[in-house]
Structure formats: structure tokens, C-alpha cells
Amino acid sequence: MPKYRVHGTVTGGKYIGDVEAKDEKEAREKAWQLDGCYPNLCHQCASECEDAEVTDLHVEFVEDE
């Protein structure tokens, strides 16, 4: 019988940080540049997950000065 190797896509959320911006579009662009915009996995998870990356950002309005 044929054998198949199967991989799954693992998705999760991570707090990237707060940015000051004129609108959500600029906030998203600035957030992509932050040092924390990468996955940080524990040793076990790092050995189980290949090519981990941040693929999307969700922007939330916090406050207006």
C-alpha cells in the first residue's frame, strides 16, 4: 500500500507591539518592521514546526492622543 507524508499548517496569534500611526494601514506597515515580528517557539515546538513565520497582522485601535 502507498505511504504518504502529511504536513499540517499551524496557526496562532502573537502580540507584536504597539505603534503610533495615522491609520491602520500605516500601523500595519510599521508593525511589519518591528523586531518582535517573528515567531518565537520553545525547543520542542521548534523541532516540530518548519518554516514558522508571521503571515498576517491584525490591527486594533487603542487610543487617540
Q: Is residue 65 scored above 80 in pLDDT?
A: no
Helix (H, G, I), strand (E, B) or coil at 23: coil
Query: What confidence score (pLDDT) does residue 34 get?
Result: 92
Q: Is 61 inside a domain boundary?
A: no
Q: Is 40 inside a domain boundary?
A: yes
Q: Is 50 inside a domain boundary?
A: yes
Number of structural domains in the chain: 1
Residues 6 or more apart whose CB falls under 8 angstroms from that of 46 comprise 52
Q: Is 7 inside a domain boundary?
A: no
Q: Is 65 inside a domain boundary?
A: no
Give the domain range for residue 21: 13-56
> What's the chain's Rg over C-alpha atoms?
17
Confidence band for 55, pLDDT divided at 50, 70 and 90: confident
Sequence-distant contacts of 8-14: CB under 8 A, at least 24 apart: 10/49, 10/52, 13/58, 14/39, 14/40, 14/54
Query: What confidence score (pLDDT) does residue 9 get?
Result: 79
